Structure 1
Amino acid sequence: MSDPFKQAAGIRKVLTAGEDAEGRLDAWITANLGEEFSRSRIKALIKDGQLTVNGQPVIDPQKKVRAGDQIEVLLPEPEDPTPKGEDIPLDVLFEDSDVIVISKPSGLVVHPAAGNWTGTLVNALIHHCGDSLSGIGGVRRPGIVHRLDKDTTGVMVVAKNDIAHRHLSLQFADHGRTMPLERAYQAVVWGRPRSLAGTIDAPLGRAVGDRTRRAVKRQEDNNADEAITHYQVLERFHESPDATALASLVECRLETGRTHQIRVHMAHIGHPLLGDITYGAGYKTKANLLPDSARKIVSGFGRQALHAFMLQFEHPTSGDIMHFEASMPEDMQELVSALRR
């Protein structure tokens, strides 16, 4: 009989179904193959003809497993990524065979997309550690489990293999409620929130008429995702006797991680981020209240004043609690110094 795999390159795994074997083929293989491959990946391999049962090719993931079945699956070598590696400098805080933690600079897009097919963090990571990527979903690429906006700076973790990708994805989906994930940001906002500490619980969804923007929605809206931000005022700038302030430095901790969450939430309570032309353009004239030297720096600040200074997570294989912090970038330090003056 000819080889049903057509001599394709890869790793062959042979499994034998025991007396208690039952259920769908894709589910059984995933449970018995270990954590290296996800069920969706196994399902795709079956449909692609990379599996035989008792020597016969099978392409139906829902086929039932029977006791004594000899199941052979071909696990192809990871394919090269579509994005190409580019020699873009990275500030690496930590790296091992499972994860890489970096401090992202302003202006760096995380993932290739329309308008930014090159020059992204993914391109940089493929160049930096492409040889150590073992393949995520069958492709030798970095596993992005969370994102920072192009002009937001700070700590990010990226997975280097399927096991790490799934483990980190679970932590970010859990939002730190039952797992040790923590995320904290520093932001400079206009004004001073009424309370020095508080929680913003306001669902978010796509803005009407503009798919790139997010907006606060009603709880019952089908387009609404739960979004919760905890904030604390750290410092007030140009405070008046009546306890108002021109601007404030706040720390925000995410209980959920929605697109533009901090930017939309702070604007929602009347305190948008300095430099945020998407959600706070109407506040830009407040800089005119500052002395000349400070006004020039504040008016010229060309991005939202947001920095992801802290990230904590559980290492996907060792179980160690990993804690990382990144200092406020120079442009935000200069902004804060100007406001203090």
Structure 2
Amino acid sequence: MIENDLDDIDDIEPVGDAANLYEHFRVVVDKGQAMVRVDKYLFERIVNASRNRIQKAADAGFVMANGKPVKSSYKVKPLDVITVVMDRPRYDNEIIAEDIPLDIVYEDEALMVVNKPAGLVVHPGHGNYTGTLVNAIAWHLRDNPDYDANDPQVGLVHRIDKNTSGLLVIAKTPDAKTSLGLQFFNKTTKRRYQALVWGIMDEDKGTITGNIARNPRDRMQMAVFSDPEIGKHAVTHYNVLERIGYVTLVECILETGRTHQIRVHMKHIGHVLFNDERYGGHEILKGTHFSKYKQFVNNCFDTCPRQALHAMTLGFVHPVTGEEMNFTSPLPEDMTLLLNKWRGYISNRDLE
């Protein structure tokens, strides 16, 4: 079996110049090997790599037979040289403890809850192999003999995006991770976010349902698909908290937890998150054409230089005591200042 380094396959671009590719795996097919699909062949040989991820690698041109890219359906033959290449050098994914400040909301022997600031990557990955929340946790628990930052049976139970702030729970024991993981899988955890979105939402509350998958036209984005065979089922409930001129403050309640779920669901219904660069929210999408207004919005972008999204509440059952645990993180300063700017702008406009 081969160690897996395909964790970031979703973030890669299709192959361009083969000279800029790096070999990560090489397997010479046995003489007696029966013909079998290359995705199945690799799935049985690469540790912790899903067949779906291998298929994505093949679709992007990263799986090769005898030096030429092949699709997932390619049938391997005896003595074929099967390689997996990537657009970056092989990375040794050992988690190194780093002295990075942590805002710890709660901690006991089984788990800890942290309040992640915007801008901090949660887990090492392509382009961010150090300086992450996981590295910070490894440092904080460096004297705990039972916690191994490189053991997948402990650690992060869920994730939030780099530029999203808010609450995360970390398991310090395998039993805690199993229990918490099941709660997330069974949708019994309580997660509420606050987001500022472009436009005035007409309804006071609603539910967005739509499968989410990688956008085929822009692999850095996710998208909503009506075809039930594409993507993963996703449900977001929302309540309007405040309508402020050309933006709306909403509370989002996750029923599922997909990549970019709130961001892509809000875009799907025409309300992109404010200053969400990846989904176009860093443009002035609503309002007037007056230069004074444009200057105001640009000042707002500077005040909150990231998507206006905060994981405000987190609730779960403690894996050891069975107690209901509920945590709340107030809006961070950048979002608070942003909201006050909009309130002030609309108030002054109404007086004109």
Provide TM-score, normalisation by structure 2.
0.67
Which of 235, 248, 252 is the matching residue for 2:242?
235
Answer whether contact 1:309 1:327 (CA < 8 A) is retained.
yes
Bigger shift: 123-132 or 106-115? 123-132
- Once the two structures are TM-superposed, the CA of residue 284 in structure 1 deviates from its matched residue by 2.6
Hey, what does 2:300 align to over in structure 1? 298
SS of the residue corresponding to residue 297 of structure 2 reads: helix
| CA distances 1:148-207 after superposition (whole Å, capped 9, x unpaired) | 10000001101011001111110111122xxxx100000000012221100001111111
| CA distances 1:302-322 after superposition (whole Å, capped 9, x unpaired) | 210000000000111111111
Aligned residues: 250
Which of 216, 221, 245 is the matching residue for 2:224?
216
> What is the correspondence of 1:11-160 to structure 2 with a 5 Å cutoff?
82-132=94-144, 134-135=146-147, 139=151, 142-160=154-172
Which of 329, 333, 340 is the matching residue for 1:337?
340
**Cα distance 1:133–1:186, how it changes in 2: closer, same or farther (>3 A)?**
farther
RMSD: 2.3
CA distance in 1, matches of 2:282, 2:143: 48
**Cα distance 1:172–1:136, how it changes in 2: closer, same or farther (>3 A)?**
farther
- Once the two structures are TM-superposed, the CA of residue 217 in structure 1 deviates from its matched residue by 1.0
- Once the two structures are TM-superposed, the CA of residue 294 in structure 1 deviates from its matched residue by 3.7
- Once the two structures are TM-superposed, the CA of residue 82 in structure 1 deviates from its matched residue by 1.7
> What is the correspondence of 1:226-305 to structure 2 with a 5 Å cutoff?
226-238=233-245, 246-281=246-281, 283-284=283-284, 286=286, 291=293, 294-300=296-302, 301-305=304-308
| CA distances 1:37-60 after superposition (whole Å, capped 9, x unpaired) | xxxxxxx9xxxxxxxxxxxxxxxx
SS of the residue corresponding to residue 130 of structure 1 reads: coil
- Once the two structures are TM-superposed, the CA of residue 277 in structure 1 deviates from its matched residue by 1.0
Which of 161, 170, 195 is the matching residue for 2:173?
161
2:326 is aligned with 1:326: no
Answer whether contact 1:133 1:160 (CA < 8 A) is retained.
no
**Cα distance 1:275–1:142, how it changes in 2: closer, same or farther (>3 A)?**
farther
Answer whether contact 1:297 1:335 (CA < 8 A) is retained.
no
**Cα distance 1:141–1:293, how it changes in 2: closer, same or farther (>3 A)?**
farther
Bigger shift: 313-322 or 81-90? 81-90
Output the amino acid matched with 1:208. Answer: P
Hey, what does 2:204 align to over in structure 1? 196
Output the amino acid matched with 1:159. Answer: A
SS of the residue corresponding to residue 339 of structure 1 reads: helix
CA distance in 2, matches of 1:141, 1:331: 35
Q: State the structure with more CA Rg.
A: 1
CA distance in 2, matches of 1:313, 1:137: 23
Runs of 4+ residues over 4 Å off in structure 1: 135-138, 287-293
Output the amino acid matched with 2:247. Answer: A
Q: Identity of paired residues, percent?
A: 45
- Consecutive unaligned residues of structure 1, counting only runs of 5 or more, are 1-43, 45-80, 239-245
CA distance in 2, matches of 1:136, 1:217: 39
**Cα distance 1:155–1:285, how it changes in 2: closer, same or farther (>3 A)?**
same
CA distance in 2, matches of 1:334, 1:282: 17
Answer whether contact 1:217 1:224 (CA < 8 A) is retained.
yes
- Once the two structures are TM-superposed, the CA of residue 141 in structure 1 deviates from its matched residue by 8.0
| CA distances 1:20-47 after superposition (whole Å, capped 9, x unpaired) | xxxxxxxxxxxxxxxxxxxxxxxx9xxx
Answer whether contact 2:273 2:281 (CA < 8 A) is retained.
no
Bigger shift: 323-332 or 273-282? 273-282
- Once the two structures are TM-superposed, the CA of residue 84 in structure 1 deviates from its matched residue by 0.9
Answer whether contact 1:136 1:162 (CA < 8 A) is retained.
no
Provide TM-score, normalisation by structure 1.
0.69
Hey, what does 2:316 align to over in structure 1? 313
CA distance in 2, matches of 1:110, 1:224: 23
**Cα distance 1:188–1:137, how it changes in 2: closer, same or farther (>3 A)?**
closer
SS of the residue corresponding to residue 297 of structure 1 reads: helix
